[in-house]
Structure 1
Amino acid sequence: MSSPDIAGILENSKELDRLRKEQEEVLLEINKMHKKLISSPEVVEKPGDSSLSKLKMLYVQAKELSESEVSISSQLLGQLDALMPSGTQGQHRRRIGSEQKKKRVKADSEVPRLSPSMRSHLESLASLKGEQVAARITQENSGKDEWFVVKVIHFDKETREFEVLDEDPGEDEESTVQRKYKLPMSHIIPFPKRSDLSSVPDFPTGRHVLAVYPETTALYKATVCQSRKRKIDDYVVEFDDDEEDGSLPQRVVPFHRVVALPDGYRQ
Structure 2
Amino acid sequence: MSGIEISELLEKSKELDSLKKQQEEYLQEINKIQKKLLSTPEVVAEKSGDAMLTRLRTLYILVKDLSDNEVSVSSALIGHLDALLQSGLSAAQRKKIEVSEQKKKRMKSESDLSRLTSAASMRSQLEQAANLKGEQVAARVTDDAENAEKDEWFVVKVIHFDKDAKEFEVLDEEPGDDEESVQRKYKLPMSRIIPFPKKNDPSGAPDFLPGRQVLAVYPGTTALYKATVVNHRKRKSEDYVLEFDDDEEDGSLPKRSVPFYKVVPLP
- 1:138-190, Cα deviation, whole Å (9 max, x unpaired): 14384134100000000000000000000000115x72210000000000000
**Structure 1 gap ranges (5+):** 1-17, 29-61, 63-114, 263-267
In the alignment, what sits opposite 2:59? none
Q: Between Structure 1 and Structure 2, whose CA radius of gyration is higher?
A: 2
Which of 81, 88, 111 does residue 22 from structure 1 map onto?
A: 111
Give the counterpart letter for 2:201 in structure 1.
D
Q: How does 1:116-155 map to 2 (within 5 A)?
A: 116-140=120-144, 142-143=146-147, 144-155=150-161
1:255 aligns with 2:233: no
- 1:183-240, Cα deviation, whole Å (9 max, x unpaired): 0000000000122223100000000000000000000000001121101000000000
Residue 122 to residue 141, structure 1, CA distance change in 2 (3 Å): closer
Residue 20 to residue 134, structure 1, CA distance change in 2 (3 Å): farther
SS at match of 1:193: coil
Give the counterpart letter for 1:150 in structure 2.
V
Which of 213, 217, 225 does residue 220 from structure 1 map onto?
A: 225
- 1:43-94, Cα deviation, whole Å (9 max, x unpaired): xxxxxxxxxxxxxxxxxxx3xxxxxxxxxxxxxxxxxxxxxxxxxxxxxxxx
In the alignment, what sits opposite 2:64? none
SS at match of 1:245: coil
- CA drift of 1:116 comes to 2.7
Which of 244, 247, 250 does residue 245 from structure 1 map onto?
A: 250
SS at match of 1:226: coil
RMSD: 2.2
Please give the alpha-carbon distance, in whole angstroms, between the structure 2 residues aligned to 1:20 and 1:169. Answer: 51
- CA drift of 1:22 comes to 2.3
In the alignment, what sits opposite 2:27? none
- CA drift of 1:21 comes to 4.7
Identity of aligned residues (%): 68
Please give the alpha-carbon distance, in whole angstroms, between the structure 2 residues aligned to 1:123 and 1:251. Answer: 35
In the alignment, what sits opposite 1:167? 173
1:158 aligns with 2:164: yes
Q: Is the Cα–Cα contact under 8 Å of residues 213 and 220 in structure 1 kept in the other structure?
A: yes
- 1:117-146, Cα deviation, whole Å (9 max, x unpaired): 321221111010000000001143841341
Residue 23 to residue 155, structure 1, CA distance change in 2 (3 Å): farther
In the alignment, what sits opposite 1:232? 237
Q: How does 1:176-195 map to 2 (within 5 A)?
A: 176-195=181-200
- CA drift of 1:20 comes to 8.5
Q: Is the Cα–Cα contact under 8 Å of residues 243 and 249 in structure 1 kept in the other structure?
A: yes
Q: Is the Cα–Cα contact under 8 Å of residues 139 and 146 in structure 1 kept in the other structure?
A: no
TM-score w.r.t. the length of structure 1 is 0.56
Of stretches 136-145 and 178-187 in structure 1, the one that deviates more from structure 2 is 136-145
Please give the alpha-carbon distance, in whole angstroms, between the structure 2 residues aligned to 1:202 and 1:160. Answer: 28
Please give the alpha-carbon distance, in whole angstroms, between the structure 2 residues aligned to 1:223 and 1:23. Answer: 41
SS at match of 1:246: coil
Please give the alpha-carbon distance, in whole angstroms, between the structure 2 residues aligned to 1:177 and 1:20. Answer: 54
Q: Which has the larger helix fraction?
A: 2
Please give the alpha-carbon distance, in whole angstroms, between the structure 1 residues aligned to 2:246 and 2:218. Answer: 12
Please give the alpha-carbon distance, in whole angstroms, between the structure 2 residues aligned to 1:249 and 1:198. Answer: 28
Q: Is the Cα–Cα contact under 8 Å of residues 139 and 145 in structure 1 kept in the other structure?
A: no
